[in-house]
Chain A
Amino acid sequence: MLVLAFFDTGFLGGDERWRRLREARPASRQHFPLNLPSTLGQYDLAKPEQTAPVVGMARQAGIDGFVIDCRWLGGAYRHDAAVLAPFCGEAFGLAFRWRNGEEPVWADGAAGLEQVERAGALVAALKDAPAVRLGGRPVVIVEDPKHLAAPAAVIAALRQAAEQAGLPGLYLIANRAEDKGRFLSVGFDSLIDPSPEEWHSCTPSNRATGLDYLEVMAGMKDSADYLDRFFPYLTFTVSRMIERERRGKVMPRVFASFHNWLRHPDGGSTHLMAGSRPFDTHLFELFVENSMLFAHSHFPAGERAIFLQSWNGWLDGTQIEPSLLDGDLVFNAARAAIDRGRYMILTRGETPGEIDDVLKERVALLCEAAKGAL
Chain B
Amino acid sequence: MLAGLALSTATGRIEGFDFQFSKGRLAADEIFDSATSPPARYVIELARRISAAASSADLLVIANPLLPLKAEQIAGWITGSAFGPMLLADADGFPLLYCLPRAAFAEIEPFLLMLSAVDADLDQRLLTGLTGLSLPVHRLAGLTIGEYPISTPGGWFQGSLRQRVLKLTTANAIKIVESRSDWRNVPVAAYHPYHAGSIVFFAMASRDVTTPLVKRHVICSSYKDIIAGTASTLAPIWLKLPFLPRDGSVGEPHYFVHSLDRLGEAVLKDNFLVFMRYSRVSAVSPFHMIDHDRFSLGESLTRTEHLRQVQPPLVSERCAAPAAPLRVLFHVTGGLPIKNYPLDYAKVAIRCLRALGIQISVIGRPDLEPFGAVSVEADETDSLIAAVREHHIFIGLDSFPHHYVRNVMGWPTIGLFGTTGSANFGGGWSAQYRALDANLACHPCGAETSCPVFGSSECINYARPEHLVAAILSMAEQVYGFAVE
- Residue from A283, A340, A349, A366 in contact with B441 in the complex, judged by beta carbons closer than 8 Å: A283
The answer to whether the Cβ of B215 comes within 8 Å of any Cβ in the partner chain is no
Please determine whether A241 and B347 come into contact, CB atoms closer than 8 angstroms. no
For B473, the chain A residues whose CB sits under 8 A away are 355, 359, 363
For A367, the chain B residues whose CB sits under 8 A away are 348-349, 352, 464-466, 469
For A238, the chain B residues whose CB sits under 8 A away are 440-442, 453
Report the nearest A residue to B355, measured CB to CB. Answer: A366
A206, chain B: closest CB distance, angstroms: 19
Given contacts A241-B440, A359-B473, A366-B356, contact A235 B453 (CB under 8 A): yes
Complex interface residues of chain A between 305 and 344 (CB less than 8 A to chain B): 335-337, 339-344
Complex interface residues of chain B between 428 and 485 (CB less than 8 A to chain A): 428-431, 434-435, 438-444, 453, 460, 464-466, 469-470, 473-475, 477-478, 484
Given contacts A344-B24, A363-B352, contact A287 B470 (CB under 8 A): no
Bound complex: CA of A55 vs CA of B441, how far in Å? 28
The answer to whether the Cβ of A73 comes within 8 Å of any Cβ in the partner chain is no
Given contacts A343-B24, A353-B478, A373-B351, contact A360 B470 (CB under 8 A): yes
Please determine whether B478 and A347 come into contact, CB atoms closer than 8 angstroms. no
For B286, the chain A residues whose CB sits under 8 A away are 339-340, 343-344
Most chain B beta carbons < 10 A, residue from A237, A290, A366, A370: A370
Bound complex: CA of A373 vs CA of B350, how far in Å? 13
B406, chain A: closest CB distance, angstroms: 14
The answer to whether the Cβ of B14 comes within 8 Å of any Cβ in the partner chain is no
Report the nearest B residue to A288, measured CB to CB. Answer: B441
Given contacts A243-B464, A363-B352, A370-B347, contact A353 B441 (CB under 8 A): no
Q: How many residues of B contact A (CB 8 A)?
A: 48
Please determine whether B423 and A343 come into contact, CB atoms closer than 8 angstroms. yes
- Residue from B307, B441, B465, B484 in contact with A241 in the complex, judged by beta carbons closer than 8 Å: B441
For A337, the chain B residues whose CB sits under 8 A away are 23
For A149, the chain B residues whose CB sits under 8 A away are none
Q: Pick from A162-170, A207-215, A291-299 the stretch touching chain B.
A: A291-299
Please determine whether B440 and A242 come into contact, CB atoms closer than 8 angstroms. yes
Complex interface residues of chain B between 156 and 182 (CB less than 8 A to chain A): none
B313, chain A: closest CB distance, angstroms: 12
For A244, the chain B residues whose CB sits under 8 A away are 439
Bound complex: CA of A356 vs CA of B25, how far in Å? 35
Please determine whether B423 and A294 come into contact, CB atoms closer than 8 angstroms. no
Bound complex: CA of A118 vs CA of B355, how far in Å? 55
For B423, the chain A residues whose CB sits under 8 A away are 340, 343-344, 347
A261, chain B: closest CB distance, angstroms: 24
Bound complex: CA of A287 vs CA of B466, how far in Å? 24
The answer to whether the Cβ of A104 comes within 8 Å of any Cβ in the partner chain is no
Please determine whether A371 and B474 come into contact, CB atoms closer than 8 angstroms. no
Interface size range on A against B: 35 or more
Bound complex: CA of A130 vs CA of B266, how far in Å? 71
For B309, the chain A residues whose CB sits under 8 A away are 347
Please determine whether A363 and B442 come into contact, CB atoms closer than 8 angstroms. no
Bound complex: CA of A235 vs CA of B287, how far in Å? 27
Given contacts A344-B423, A370-B347, contact A286 B429 (CB under 8 A): no
The answer to whether the Cβ of A348 comes within 8 Å of any Cβ in the partner chain is yes
Report the nearest A residue to B349, measured CB to CB. Answer: A367
The answer to whether the Cβ of A364 comes within 8 Å of any Cβ in the partner chain is yes
Q: A211-242 CB contact bits vs B (8 Å, 1 = yes)?
A: 00000000000000000000000110110111
The answer to whether the Cβ of B304 comes within 8 Å of any Cβ in the partner chain is yes
Please determine whether A370 and B348 come into contact, CB atoms closer than 8 angstroms. yes
- Residue from A242, A335, A353 in contact with B438 in the complex, judged by beta carbons closer than 8 Å: A242
Please determine whether A241 and B24 come into contact, CB atoms closer than 8 angstroms. no
Please determine whether A290 and B439 come into contact, CB atoms closer than 8 angstroms. yes
Most chain A beta carbons < 10 A, residue from B24, B356, B429: B24
Complex interface residues of chain A between 260 and 309 (CB less than 8 A to chain B): 283, 286-287, 290-291, 293-294, 297
The answer to whether the Cβ of A113 comes within 8 Å of any Cβ in the partner chain is no
The answer to whether the Cβ of A352 comes within 8 Å of any Cβ in the partner chain is yes
Q: B12-46 CB contact bits vs A (8 Å, 1 = yes)?
A: 00000000001111000000000000000000000
For B23, the chain A residues whose CB sits under 8 A away are 335-337, 339-340, 343
Q: B322-352 CB contact bits vs A (8 Å, 1 = yes)?
A: 0000000000000000000000100111011
Please determine whether A346 and B441 come into contact, CB atoms closer than 8 angstroms. no
Nearest 3 CB-CB pairings of A with B: A343-B24, A370-B351, A339-B23
**Chain B residues in the interface with A (C-beta under 8 A):** 22-25, 286-288, 304, 307, 309-310, 344, 347-349, 351-352, 355-356, 422-423, 426, 428-431, 434-435, 438-444, 453, 460, 464-466, 469-470, 473-475, 477-478, 484
What are 15 A-B pairs at a CB distance below 8 A?
A237-B441, A242-B438, A291-B441, A339-B25, A342-B24, A342-B25, A343-B287, A344-B286, A344-B422, A353-B477, A354-B470, A359-B484, A367-B465, A371-B348, A373-B351
**Chain A residues in the interface with B (C-beta under 8 A):** 234-235, 237-238, 240-244, 283, 286-287, 290-291, 293-294, 297, 335-337, 339-344, 346-349, 352-355, 359-360, 363-364, 366-367, 370-371, 373-374
